[in-house]
Amino acid sequence: MDADSRLMDAKSRARLEELKNPHVNKIIEHYTRLCRPAKVTILDDSKNSIDYARALALKNGEEKQLKTKGHTIHFDSYHDQGRDLVNTRVLLPKGLKLSKAVEVKERNEGLKEVFGLMEGIMEGKEMLVKFYCLGPENSKFSIAALQLTDSAYVVHSEDILYRQGHQEFKRLNGSKNFFHFVHSAGRIENGVCIDIDKRRVYIDLEEERVMTINNQYAGNSVGLKKLALRLAISKAHGEDWLCEHMFIMGVHPKGKDRVTYFTGAFPSACGKTSTAMIPGQTIVGDDIAYIRPAEDGIAKAVNVEQGIFGIIEDVNPIDDALIYKSLTTPREMIFSNVLTDGGIPYWLGMGKELPKKGINYSGEWHLGKKDGKDKEILPAHKNARYTIRISELENADENTENPEGVPVRGFIYGGRDSDTSVPVLQSLSWAHGVFIGAAIESETTAAAIGAVGVRKHNPMSNIEFLTVPLSVYIENHIRFGDDLDKPPLIFATNYFLKENGKFLNEKVDKKVWLMWMEGRVHGEFDAVETPIGFIPGYEDLKKLFREIFSKDYKKEDYVRQFSIKIKNLMEKLDRIEAIFRQEENIPDMFYHHLVQQRERLKEALEKHGKEVMSPLEFG
């Protein structure tokens, strides 16, 4: 470590030596030589280290203080406002394949390119080295993670989002069983990246590492988030557990002394965080879950993270009271890419009038400002975010740090679908539920760079993160449930059904769908069997709307929301089949359920002669 030790102070050297891990030393030495920082600072779990990164983010101008105590604002480049799907690649040796939907690059070629771009990328900057734990500390679920970056904002974000891991690395006893992530924002002007053409996010499964450069948006730069998800999916499917793009929540039915845990997978901006934050319920995590079979034949899950990196658009005091309260009261929190005026943050859909001028992700902003393509710049970005610890929330579940995980009784798959899917349904079986999850379609949003409103196929809301073939992913899901004595029930939701351009549901209605699902887990509600699965009966929903909202749920609303749109559903099956036929070795069980669902829809159409059937006709 001679080359690195000259760049470290005594505290840094001592923190590194405590680990007694030659693999960590080798990684730091390699990237120090490659990136050539002016200084290397090793941070541990102490308050001094956490305070150092927070203060450095302010000193470097990566964050600025806001009026409310503990709140800061971070801006990303105008061209770096979502996950960079175009420049993100999984590095594969020649001859290996993934799903056609996953962007890959030949490994040796990719390493040569990215190492060339990283040559001297940290010159004149400080490399921060930090240790984290993905999952609760000292748990069989968890994975140690090493982060190298020249961005104090990245470290500050990870200090909020993840558990500290210096002690976890000590427990490794010199093992190389950890992930590592290397990030550089590259050249900076006026606080933002300028080498946009050299932006790269390369995932190397063989070495369980990620190299990500010339970016700032946390979805690209914060290695432990969606980049670690890709590494963990590969690891999980080699070890017979599941790593999923899922929230974990505790559901507490009114008047009943129990908590029922659900996980849920929703594409970005499709109601994932708002579901996990439904009033009266508790949250374990909002984004990524590790799920393992337990000795008693059930599934248990932990939250990989300890914080939330949530989409802030439309968070308002009416629809999202818990989140809104947390965002507007003192606590440590980072806002990103919102509008600020006088040290106060403003975002789209917050329920109040926004200022006509201020500072946003484009710099000095005023109403009517346009970009270089004559496109009007919104006051805040549609993918603007907030970063906050779950422990800061009133509804944090008591088991958020339980190293044994929580028992999962239900999986929920959600999407954004304006014209086809019913608001909630239950699968006919575990394997049928896997088929439903694998067949998710969702209309795209601003959470990823690209066109908005395009219908995209997104199996288990996880397609862009898959690092195993889709066939393996689906087969392992089927086997995972089959091997459990009591597999979770599988449900699907859609909060975005429209008629004549207007939503058929209120945003808060999701609480009713959730309580119906919770009741189904405990056998308390009947259900109506339809060609696509079990849906709620009208009387049960009427009772739930009365109990939860003191609201009269009209039968005509039930019919409009839960009608089975046979023509649209058949067209969806055709689209899904065409996509899967392009994949190799998809399990026969998947096609069995696709064919069976198509036959059930055909039978209903032939029997009733209607392309849209009322749910009352299936009673």
One-letter identity of residue 163:
R
Question: Which DSSP helix (H) or strand (E) runs through 176?
Answer: none
Which structural domains are found in the chain, ordered by start? 2-60+84-236 (3.40.449.10), 310-391 (no CATH), 409-618 (3.90.228.20)
Query: What average pLDDT does the segment 398-410 reach?
Result: 97
Q: What is the pLDDT of residues 165-174, one digit of tens each?
A: 999 999 999 9
- The answer, yes or no, to whether residue 5 has pLDDT greater than 80, is no
Q: What is the pLDDT of residues 447-506, one digit of tens each?
A: 555 555 678 889 999 988 999 999 999 999 999 999 999 999 999 999 999 999 899 999
> What is residue 22's DSSP assignment?
H
Query: What average pLDDT does the segment 152-168 reach?
Result: 98
Residues above pLDDT 90, as percent of the chain? 85
Assess contact for 72 and 161: CB atoms under 8 A.
Answer: no
Structure tokens at 46: 């102490």
| Confidence (pLDDT) at 320 | 81
- The answer, yes or no, to whether residue 106 has pLDDT greater than 50, is yes
Assess contact for 252 and 283: CB atoms under 8 A.
Answer: no
| Confidence (pLDDT) at 1 | 46
Query: What average pLDDT does the segment 254-261 reach?
Result: 95
The vertex-135 CA angle with 72 and 338, nearest 5°, equals 20
Residue appearing with tokens 């499964």: 205
The vertex-492 CA angle with 491 and 498, nearest 5°, equals 150
| Confidence (pLDDT) at 216 | 95
pLDDT confidence band for 97 (50 / 70 / 90) = confident
| Confidence (pLDDT) at 272 | 85
Q: What is the pLDDT of residues 300-339, one digit of tens each?
A: 999 999 999 988 999 999 878 888 999 999 999 999 999 9
Whether this model's pTM surpasses 0.85: yes
| Confidence (pLDDT) at 444 | 64
| Confidence (pLDDT) at 3 | 45
pLDDT, averaged across the chain: 94
Closest CA to 387 of 113, 607, 158, 176: 158
Question: Which DSSP helix (H) or strand (E) runs through 311?
Answer: strand 307-311
Q: How far apart are CA 222 and CA 157, in angstroms?
A: 8
- The answer, yes or no, to whether residue 370 has pLDDT greater than 50, is yes
Which residues have a catalytic role annotated? 270
Mark out the alpha helices in 104-227 (DSSP H runs).
107-118, 152-161, 166-171, 218-221
Residues above pLDDT 70, as percent of the chain? 97
Residue appearing with tokens 């470590």: 1
| Confidence (pLDDT) at 450 | 53
Q: Rounded to an integer, what is the distance from CA 507 to the centroid of its chain?
A: 20
Assess contact for 250 and 282: CB atoms under 8 A.
Answer: yes
- The answer, yes or no, to whether residue 69 has pLDDT greater than 60, is yes
| Confidence (pLDDT) at 62 | 96
- The answer, yes or no, to whether residue 248 has pLDDT greater than 50, is yes
